[in-house]
Structure 1
Amino acid sequence: MVLFEQQQQQNSQQAVRRGGIDHGGRIQALAKHAQLPCCPAKLTNSGESLHCCTNTVASEAGALPDPSMGGTIPVASSMGNVQGKEVKNFVLFGDIHKSIYFLSWKEQGSQLSLLAKDFGSLDCFATEFLIDGSTLSLVASDSDKNVQIFYYAPKMVESWKGQKLLSRAEFHVGAHITKFLRLQMLPTQGLSSEKTNRFALLFGNLDGGIGCIAPIDELTFRRLQSLQRKLVDAVPHVCGLNPRSFRQFHSNGKGHRPGPDNIIDFELLAHYEMLSLDEQLDVAQQIGTTRSQILSNFSDISLGTSFL
């Protein structure tokens, strides 16, 4: 349940919006966000190693303290750590050549243990956690200008008994993303409503653009996905370029297994409001909904990410 929106300043000083959605969420929550104990660890990046520091211990990420041996046991090696992020007692860091690692911090015994990692070939540029209620996703950008969203599901057969992170969504951005910033989304029922445990990711790329990844509900995703498929044929393509093929994952010749088709291009969806009234009514009828319902979904998305 993820919306992706990008805004980039053009020569005409107009903003461009792009979007993508992930509806994943088929696994049980790792833990209730509000019930997780606070992790006292702080991450420091020295370029080639990531350190987890507390008041009593400082150990390399990828090594698990062993009290009986008085040393450390290596559980993962890395070429060069790019970014390290933490949420409660979970730690995520990306490697410049070996994708991402998902770890857990245990205060008892001051242990940093490896939960799972991505075994694919990914030159990671930036990482961050994406929170949708009790569902936790792991986001990473790569050198081929893609964004991949992973999740941890140890009970699924495909995860190799929990050792492998599974793909929730993937899409092509068209620019290198070097920084994610996690921000809490605003309630869609008005400013007086209670805060939601739903966070969006604001990011910047090396081409000068900014964008946002944010979760939405399953029903909205299904409706907007149907709208996107219709607009691919209904809207003229800029320079003859197909917007659907542009958002497909770019592997640059590397072996890659396609991930779930859970992405919606919000830049494409924005063209719906540019159609004539008759065309809007006709498109809405063809996908089994109404024009007012589609515009209501657009409004909720704008309100939830109005921190932009």
Structure 2
Amino acid sequence: MVLFEQQQQQNSQQAVRCGGIDHGGRIQALAKHAQLPCCPAKLTNSGESLHCCTNTVASEAGALPDPSMGGTIPVASSMGNVQGKEVNGGVGEDSRSPPMDLWSPHVRSWKEQGSQLSLLAKDFGSLDCFATEFLIDGSTLSLVASDSDKNVQIFYYAPKMVESWKGQKLLSRAEFHVGAHITKFLRLQMLPTQGLSSEKTNRFALLFGNLDGGIGCIAPIDELTFRRLQSLQRKLVDAVPHVCGLNPRSFRQFHSNGKGHRPGPDNIIDFELLAHYEMLSLDEQLDVAQQIGTTRSQILSNFSDISLGTSFL
């Protein structure tokens, strides 16, 4: 996965930096974004209720139903437990919301016949979800979720793996810290690039907006490109001077805010850091490329492919 991020500019001219090129103008959606209506909350005698929100289906973006799911359409939802016998729907300073214990994302299967919504898998951790969306890379389907600690986690459903507890648990694919609250993901189809197989033409990136006024993008990349750019990223952490001496690798680590958390796999690269490579002198670019066992032209070619694939920005 590759992460782009650009904070809101202070002047009226705003742009998104992608692969060293600033793209201005409007953002056009290339794929439909479908959402199921929120389930109505139902109070029980104990004063507790369940409320599912940010439900998202993946079929309209071109994802085929997984055979392991019985030909059903996957649906992502974040669940919450409302404590209290009354839910105040008013808006204003005097409105009081009942305390809520939020749970991590759930993946459910939706069957048109009989209108059945059944649970497939979920994350058993405690996660205050802000937004969820599906990330599609060919035949691979992942679930992306943002939380109140300004993190983003990427999960996947693998019922045949032992760690998934017979398919009941969502497994972690990647996690990283964004530094802002993400409240919305928009799934957009990536443009095809040269050298990709027909399977990888069904690729979608996630465009997101945060409460600080910034926008960013999460996009899938192939394994070979990821390994090469990951080596470049690790080299740039030491080779490039950073603002106020802050460590970008430490900043992108998952922030748990004092909660117990098991670190997930390091499967995402920070393109905001990689963009510093083009700002180096020619001799420095050649030297860094040689140290990681590649060439400058190969690195710039990877940058160009990523920029082309996400040129909807």
Separation of aligned partners in 1, 2:184 and 2:79: 20
Q: In the alignment, which residue of structure 1 is the partner of 2:135?
A: 130
Q: What SS does structure 1 have at the residue aligned with 2:302? A: helix
Q: In the alignment, which residue of structure 2 is the partner of 1:166?
A: 171
Q: Where does the alignment leave 5 or more consecutive residues of structure 1 unmatched?
A: 92-98
Q: In the alignment, which residue of structure 2 is the partner of 1:305?
A: 310
Q: CA deviation at 1:196?
A: 2.3
Change over 3 Å in CA distance of 1:20–1:174 after alignment to 2: farther
What's the C-alpha RMSD, in Å, of the aligned pairs? 10.5
Change over 3 Å in CA distance of 1:28–1:235 after alignment to 2: closer
Q: CA deviation at 1:8?
A: 3.5
Change over 3 Å in CA distance of 1:149–1:195 after alignment to 2: closer
Change over 3 Å in CA distance of 1:241–1:72 after alignment to 2: closer
Change over 3 Å in CA distance of 1:240–1:67 after alignment to 2: closer
Change over 3 Å in CA distance of 1:73–1:86 after alignment to 2: farther
Q: CA deviation at 1:20?
A: 15
Q: CA deviation at 1:11?
A: 6.1
Change over 3 Å in CA distance of 1:46–1:53 after alignment to 2: farther
Q: CA deviation at 1:265?
A: 1.0
Q: In the alignment, which residue of structure 1 is the partner of 2:292?
A: 287
Q: Is the 1:168–1:260 Cα contact (8 Å) retained in structure 2?
A: yes
Q: What SS does structure 2 have at the residue aligned with 1:258? A: coil
Change over 3 Å in CA distance of 1:144–1:279 after alignment to 2: same
Q: Could you list the per-position Cα deviations for residues 176-202 of structure 1 after superposition, in whole angstroms to 9, with x for gaps in the alignment?
A: 000000000112249999992100100
Q: How does 1:176-187 map to 2 (within 5 A)?
A: 176-187=181-192
Separation of aligned partners in 2, 1:74 and 1:297: 32
TM-score scaled by structure 1? 0.73
Q: In the alignment, which residue of structure 2 is the partner of 1:10?
A: 10
Q: Is the 2:39–2:53 Cα contact (8 Å) retained in structure 1?
A: no
Separation of aligned partners in 1, 2:45 and 2:157: 24
Q: CA deviation at 1:102?
A: 0.2
Separation of aligned partners in 2, 1:198 and 1:64: 12
Separation of aligned partners in 1, 2:159 and 2:89: 17
Change over 3 Å in CA distance of 1:105–1:68 after alignment to 2: closer
Q: Is the 1:62–1:75 Cα contact (8 Å) retained in structure 2?
A: no
Deviates more, 1:168-177 or 1:31-40: 31-40
TM-score scaled by structure 2? 0.72
Separation of aligned partners in 2, 1:25 and 1:243: 29
Q: CA deviation at 1:5?
A: 3.9
Q: Could you list the per-position Cα deviations for residues 7-61 of structure 1 after superposition, in whole angstroms to 9, with x for gaps in the alignment?
A: 5325696757589999999999999999999999999999998899999999999
Change over 3 Å in CA distance of 1:107–1:307 after alignment to 2: same
- Runs (4 or more) in structure 1 with deviation over 3 Å come to 1-8, 10-91, 189-195
Deviates more, 1:247-256 or 1:99-108: 99-108
Q: How does 1:204-283 map to 2 (within 5 A)?
A: 204-283=209-288
Change over 3 Å in CA distance of 1:48–1:188 after alignment to 2: farther
Change over 3 Å in CA distance of 1:255–1:175 after alignment to 2: same
Q: Is the 1:42–1:52 Cα contact (8 Å) retained in structure 2?
A: no
Q: Is the 1:147–1:173 Cα contact (8 Å) retained in structure 2?
A: yes
Separation of aligned partners in 1, 2:85 and 2:144: 11
Q: What SS does structure 1 have at the residue aligned with 2:299? A: helix
Q: Is the 1:27–1:153 Cα contact (8 Å) retained in structure 2?
A: no
Q: CA deviation at 1:250?
A: 0.3
Q: Is the 2:3–2:216 Cα contact (8 Å) retained in structure 1?
A: no
Q: CA deviation at 1:172?
A: 0.3
Q: CA deviation at 1:139?
A: 0.3
Q: Where does the alignment leave 5 or more consecutive residues of structure 2 unmatched?
A: 92-103
